[in-house]
Amino acid sequence: MTAWEEVRDLIEDHDLPGLGALMAVLDDAERQEVARELPRHLKALRRELGPWGEPAGWAEPMRVAGAGSFGGTAAVAAWLNRRDFVLPEWRSPADSETLVEVISARDPQWQADLVARLTLRIRNGRSPGAPLVMTLLRRTGVTPPQHDPLVVAWVAVPPSASQLREDPLLDVLLPRIFEAQGVGRALLDERSSPLSSPSWLGALAVLTSEGRVSRKVLLDGCVNRFLRGGDALDLRFFTRLHEVVEPTYAEVESRARDYLRLLPAAPGPVAELSLKHLRRLDRLDPADVTEALEGLLFRAEGGLVRTGLTWLDQAVRQAPERADEFVPALVTALGHEAYAVQEKAVRLVVKHARHLTPLGAETLRAVLTTLPPDLGGKLAAAVGGEAELQEEPETFVPGELAEPEPPAPFPRLPGTVVEFATRRWADTWQAGESWLAGFVRFAAEDREALRAALSDVSPRATGFYRYEDWYSPQEWFTATAAELVSPGADPGTPSRLAEDEETRAPDPGVRVSGPGRGVTNLMSVPQAAFAYGRFGYGASGPRRIFDEVRPDRLPRGRAVSAPHRFLLRRCAEVLAALTAGELPPILLATPTSATGHLDPAEFLNRLEAVEAAGGKPLPADFQQALLRLPRTADPEIVARAGRLTSEAGRRAARWLKDGLADPETGVRWKYSENANEYFFDEREPSGYYEARPVAWLKAEPTGLPLVDELLAEPPSFPRSEHGRHMSWWSSVLPSHREVVAVNYLPHLMRAWDRPQVSHDWVEQLASGEGPAGDATALLLAFFLAQEKPAKGVRLLLSAAARGDLPVAALGRQLAPLVRLTPAKLPHVTAALEDAARDGAHREVWEVIRAALPHLLPRAGLRPYSGVTDLIAFGVRAAGWAEARGEIPEITAAAGRRSSSVFTRECRRLRDLLARP
């Protein structure tokens, strides 16, 4: 057996120890034989694996064979780094001891040359060849070549103190970490606490305390790294390392010139570090201090500049006779863009003005006109001169709120069968209501003419009979027209056929059937209504209409939103009444107003006409008509209703007198965190969360089953079919708009798989009646917070003109909307200002008053983005509205010891509201 055949067999057996032993005894000729055959064998293996195969088992044996057989270091370096041997990082094994032993058996000079070549192939800290290079460097003692990626690879693995103490590379590579590009980014996440283990900061802290690592190497390295420049992220590790070393007074003093050079332009954390240590020194050259302050006070960071001004104050107190030397630095600070910096600089001038010469005072007077009037006045009092005059208060002339227009009448109903048949079917809610009303009317007046006009419907209707549920009014309209043209056209839904038609009848003698359809599991809607409690007004038994007995294809349970299901019930009962031959001559619920309201007198006219014809109102139609009545009715109308003797008439009389009690509603904000759900008012989130509003609704039972179903609380998580036909919902409950708003809220936030609430729907909702609470307020707040809030402003102005803007609720809901969602408070502020200038200034102020307590930060925390600007506008809005009365939260914020713009604006608002 040849040497190559032995090597090949060991490679195929993945026998690393055997392969290493064999490579050690091969002579030069045998090594050359193996070296010739290895590339051919690699090609064969690659062909066998295919383009997507991985060298899971044979890669390391192949590397060992190449390291022991190739003669030149360039060839070995190329072989060891072949891409053919690279596995995904998570599957790549560590370099084998056998590979290291085979390389270590070669000539020392050969090893040094190989290590240098392998080192230069390292590209970053995650290069596959880096671990082998580290091992060989430590094993051979070869001095590493200058190569920045090698240093990055060395620091990529955090060591413990014991590991670093024994590392042969420590002394040669540690000084290079301050020079090598990429080290700062590689160690970006190192914690500043030396207790973190394993970590470079922790290990270096221990070794420095032991004397194993020189303090001078670390401090000089950090300072030199700072002087070389870089951004804050590149230097973060070195600033932490500098503080871990804790330089002594003498160490800071010996490097004072370097720290001074860092003040003007180094990244903020480096400048803060330098300033902190320089302020410990008491023997600095005054000229150096003056020069450093001039550069420091030119910086943009307000906090850093204010610390510099404190240092300047200390320097002037120590040498008052040199006050003029600090005037250029003060001029720089007085020109700073941050009000808090300007304010502190003015205070220092006032404090030390007596030490200034006339020349110094003259220099300061030159900047008087650049300061805000209040600060300019204080500076002028100290150094002379005249400050910029206070701006004249804005003369506010509000616009006039437009008088609310009376609701438009409901569009004219079709006057003839031909007109009815040629109108579009239900492209709007008004068209849908017109279709229902027209169909019932013309079916009673001239059924044959209506059948002829709709003759082309039946052939087109067959396609959707295969669907078990019909979710759209248009589907019900088409089925109703097809039933008129071809009675019995609907074959029914097999999945809903009953095994025994009598088993679902609630009372003996009631057949559950539908003429022209064959036997089904459902009685017609009017029959079911009478069987379950006379019109469904008050079911006497445990079963209730539509709970167990439902029209064919009506979506089950809560598969759709409650308002959507309610309008489908109305469509379904017209079809069922047509099939049963019990269609009334007229519908009761057709609106008379564009808001969806129904005139009470017209309602009674229709009810009397139905009863005079010997018919019965359809249950859903009757209950929808009640919901569309205004909240109040004339006494004459109530008295007229009281003279009706039918059950429907008596129910109508009670409704006109007492109406529907307003349900209790509200909004709470919820969030999901780690697959669990919580309310914000019960638990603060601890990490990333997604917030959403959840509306709640509690209504007293009315005795009207369909109304009670409509007033159910909406689900907090809508299903796929929820949120359809929302344009219709406001007309379902025009006298109880907050109930509609509660149903809108689950669909408010934008989502790819659910409709978003339209401004037009909210506008129609706002034109209705009834109290507007948190749900309505949140809808309005949502549109005010848009980047282009013109529609929201229009909604606010309309509500203000009607006098029913929910100012307290709007302010209350604005806070969580801008704090917990992507909505932007600056957009809200801009919208409120537009509304105030257009005449709603008093209402806008009340909204701001209600919002501020929920937006102000707790003591010690920064204000949310945009809060300061809202308070600043609030000062103007309060002035326009001539507002008075304390806001306790503003008073508390104004009393904090702070010179920030936020605190200053709180003080302005507090003082304005406290005026007599």
Strand order in 676-679's β-sheet? 676-679, 664-673, 690-698
Question: What pLDDT is stored for residue 389 in this prediction?
Answer: 60
Report how far residue 515's alpha carbon sits from residue 492's, in angstroms, rounded to the nearest whole number. 12
CA distance 901 to 579: 73
* pLDDT score, position 539: 33
Give the number of other Cβ atoms within 10 Å of residue 283's Cβ. Answer: 6
Pairing state between β 664-673 and 676-679: antiparallel
Q: What is the pLDDT of residue 500?
A: 34
User: Rounded to the nearest 5 degrees, what angle is found at the Cα of 720, between the Cα atoms of 718 and 723?
Assistant: 60
For helices 327-334 and 339-352, give the axis angle rounded to 10 degrees: 150
* DSSP per-residue codes, 851-870: HHHHHSPPTTSPPPTTHHHH
- DSSP secondary structure string for all residues of 485-517: HSTT-----GGG--SSTTTT-SSTT----BTTT
pLDDT value of position 426: 62
| The predicted structure's pLDDT at residue 508 | 31
Nearest CA among 519, 447, 513, 510 for reference residue 483? 447
Look at residue 757 in the predicted model and tell me its pLDDT: 87
- The CA-based angle 352-353-355, given to 5 degrees, is 75
Instruction: State how far the Cα of 547 lies from the Cα of 540, in Å rounded to an integer.
Output: 14
Q: What CA–CA distance (Å, rounded) separates 747 from 742?
A: 10
pLDDT tens for residues 468-526? 889 889 889 989 999 999 898 787 765 443 333 333 333 333 323 333 332 222 333 33
Contact status, residue 869 vs residue 902, Cβ threshold 8 Å: no
Strand partners, 698: 664
Count of H-run helices and E-run strands, the chain: 47, 3
Residues 6+ apart with CB under 8 A from 861: none
How many other CB atoms sit within 10 Å of the CB of residue 866? 17
Token pair in block for residue 61: 């044996």
- Residue 196 confidence (pLDDT): 52
Instruction: Identify the DSSP state of 840.
Output: I
Q: In the chain, which residues have pLDDT < 70?
A: 49-56, 87-95, 192-197, 388-394, 424-426, 458-462, 493-552, 750-755
The share of the chain scoring above pLDDT 70, in percent, equals 88
- 3-class DSSP state of 310: helix
Residue written as tokens 């159910």?
712
Residues 6 or more apart whose CB falls under 8 angstroms from that of 116 comprise 142, 145
Backbone angles phi, psi at 475, to 5 degrees: -65, -40
